[in-house]
Amino acid sequence: MTVREIFEEAVALQRRGDLAGAIQRYRLCLELDPAVTVVRHNLCIALLTAGELEEGFSLYDLRYEAGRGPVTKPSLSFPEWTGQPLWGRSILVWPEQGAGDHIMFARFVSELAQRGARVSMLVPPPLVRLFSTLPARIIPAEGRVSIPEHDFWTMSGALPHRLGVGLSNLPADHYLPDAPNGVGIGVMARGNPAHGADRDRSLPADVAARLLALPGARSLHPDDTGARDFEATAGIIRGLELVISVDTSVAHLAGAMGKPTWILLQARDPDWRWMLGRSDSPWYPSARLFRQPAAGDWDSVVADVQSALAER
């Protein structure tokens, strides 16, 4: 078989959820031709989805390469951090990707501080107030920004690899403030329509209406709450008992706060961080995952949510 044929077979296996088979074939492709970027990229995603975080994140820098996504490294006067000792040194964490990624990777700021680093974070305006409790100097990424000199800088998504993170040592305690014993259910039924997978992950209007009709339910979408930033949404979540969300930034927000969070996932190409076949998440111990049994079947997901609510 040619490399292309083996690659196509691997992709088909990955889409069917046979990650072990896909990973084996991607490795075979690379033995035959180590330079094929798309193979290394797919292997990276397959490994992360399978929970092989250490090896998967070792390949995650592929997102910088041309054609693999919107992540661009900054051009700064001080060096990129590649794992050097941090005690007494300063480091700037550079944001990347979407708000959910910013929130998910923010857990590693505490690890940098525990290693003795003086941490700064360049933060998009909607997250500035939310991140004010993290052990870092917050630099709002708004208008003309003056970046002070640091000893090092790092992309936020590079932190798991640089810190040697795997499933056994993934920081999973909640790291954003919460208030327990709230009342009511917050529902986030749709994500950013500009996201490439939004058609699959966001709920149709009639399905969203069924969730919002649950006793004590309210929408968490900023269009409905008037929230001006993520801290305002977090303030609403602190007063709730439960958050039910599709795979969007509010799911990460509630999970990072340690709030009971039910995340509704599509069957077609769910994001790697939720893995496959699990109803729990090593990233957010307070989360419970509800998965479509087949592409487009949100009715079964809502039925599972209603059953779970009845059990509560």
Distance CA 280, CA 296 (A): 21
Average pLDDT in the 216-220 region?
Answer: 97
Hey, where are the domains in the chain?
A: 3-64, 90-169, 185-311
Dump pLDDT digits (tens) for 284-306. Answer: 999 999 999 998 999 999 999 99
Hey, which of 66-80, 192-206, 215-229 has the most confident mean pLDDT?
Answer: 215-229
Q: How confident is the model at residue 36 (pLDDT cuts 50, 70, 90)?
A: confident
pTM equals 0.94
Distance CA 294, CA 212 (A): 23
Per cent of the chain over pLDDT 90 is 80
- Give the per-residue pLDDT at 159: 97
From the CA atom positions of the chain, what is the Rg in Å?
Answer: 20
- The SS3 assignment for 92 reads strand
Please determine whether the domains at 3-64 and 185-311 fall in the same fold group of CATH: no
Dump pLDDT digits (tens) for 179-205. Answer: 888 999 999 999 877 776 778 889 999
- Give the per-residue pLDDT at 69: 59
Average pLDDT in the 88-94 region?
Answer: 97
Q: What is the CATH number of domain 3-64?
A: 1.25.40.10
Dump pLDDT digits (tens) for 245-285. Answer: 999 999 999 999 999 999 999 987 789 999 999 999 999 99
Phi, psi of 265 (to 5 degrees): -120, 140
Q: State the fold for domain 185-311.
A: Rossmann fold (3.40.50)
- Give the per-residue pLDDT at 203: 94
Is a pLDDT exceeding 60 seen at residue 161? yes
Residue 117 DSSP symbol: -
Mean pLDDT (the chain, rounded):
93
Dump pLDDT digits (tens) for 103-146. Answer: 999 999 999 999 999 999 999 999 999 999 999 999 999 988 98
Among residues 255, 238, 230, 249, the alpha carbon closest in space to that of 126 is found at 230
Structure tokens of 106? 């923010």
Q: How confident is the model at residue 66 (pLDDT cuts 50, 70, 90)?
A: low
- Regarding predicted confidence, which is higher, 172 or 18? 18
The number of beta carbons lying within 10 Å of the beta carbon of residue 67 is 7
